[in-house]
Structure 1
Amino acid sequence: MAQHVSENIVENRTASVQSWLYIGILTLIPGLNIVIFLALAVSEEPNKSLQNFGRAALINIAIAALAIIIVSVMLSFSIKRTLTELLPWWVFG
């Protein structure tokens, strides 16, 4: 009995330098860059490198936003504590 092995043909299309250049220029525009990264991350395009680039960029943005939030909260508590120690009691009640 012969086993039938199906061969899946995988087409590996790479992104051209021109498309990378356009994406790089579009991602320099604030606000539009997140839209571009979302579009790349969820696209069903056969180009996996662009899809992975979009996903990685969104992960980087999420990590940076989380770090900014954590540092901001820590600094706000630190500044408030420092001001309460330096300024008279009637300023902060």
Structure 2
Amino acid sequence: GITAYAQVGLNTENPKSTMDVSAKRNAAGLLTDNAQLIGLQAPRLTRTELTANIATYGTNQKGALIYITDISGGDTSGQRANIDTIGYYYFDGTT
């Protein structure tokens, strides 16, 4: 067996960080597809779905990112205390 450490790149052969996501580019660095959808999407869920999730976030989840699509259900108790509008949320170690 061997141990290997690596960086991962999407649309790049030379990742510059642990996870490097690039738009599709040619060797000259120019976009190769002007119709591509560019960006990252965090997991999308409703506050109801998050409320039903029984997992408790801890220090290993600091920085976890989600996108809440609907706040008509669920609740704002405990770690969901600040989830009061549609949008991005991250876990800071407490809420």
TM tier, shorter chain? under 0.3
TM-score normalised by length of structure 1: 0.22
TM-score normalised by length of structure 2: 0.21
Structure (1 or 2) with the larger CA radius of gyration: 1
Greater fraction strand: 2
Greater fraction helix: 1
